[in-house]
């Protein structure tokens, strides 16, 4: 079983739609959680950190459920520019700050 699992998609949605991505992680000792965005043939970039209380950044909302070991990302009012691959990421168990990446969920926003 992978340490971080995501639905690979692709999710194909029209502009203006709301879309949700889910992710599960296997290590209950994980402390930090993130969503990264990766555009085609580019490097991953941090989209947002995920906190237990949930957090919002504009059209993006991230939620964490530690009991279920489940992370979500909600994108409201999708834009064409949101088309990318979204990577769910959790930290490792030691002090080396290693991150464990999911294989990503691809989003295509159509006009």
Partner 1 sequence: NAGVTQTPKFRVLKTGQSMTLLCAQDMNHEYMYWYRQDPGMGLRLIHYSVGEGTTAKGEVPDGYNVSRLKKQNFLLGLESAAPSQTSVYFCASTQQGAGQETQYFGPGTRLLVL
Summarize as ranges the residues that interact with partner 1 (CB under 8 A): 4, 8, 31-32, 34, 41-46, 49, 87, 91, 95-99, 101-104
Name the residue nearer to partner 1 (CB basis): 36 or 78.
36
Q: Which is nearer to partner 1, 13 or 92 (CB)?
A: 92
For residue 106, give the nearest of 26, 40, 25 by alpha carbon.
Answer: 40
Least Å distance between CB 17 and partner 1?
Answer: 25
């Amino acid at each position: 079983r992978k340490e971080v699992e995501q639905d690979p998609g692709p999710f194909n949605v029209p502009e203006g739609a709301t879309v949700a991505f889910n992710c599960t992680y296997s290590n209950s000792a994980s402390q930090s959680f993130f969503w990264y965005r990766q555009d085609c043939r580019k490097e991953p970039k941090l989209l947002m950190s995920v906190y237990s209380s949930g957090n919002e950044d504009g059209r993006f909302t991230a939620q964490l459920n530690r009991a279920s070991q489940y992370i979500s990302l909600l994108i409201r009012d999708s834009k064409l520019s949101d088309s990318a691959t979204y990577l769910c990421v959790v930290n490792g168990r030691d002090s080396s700050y290693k991150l464990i990446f999911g294989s990503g969920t691809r989003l295509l926003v159509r006009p």
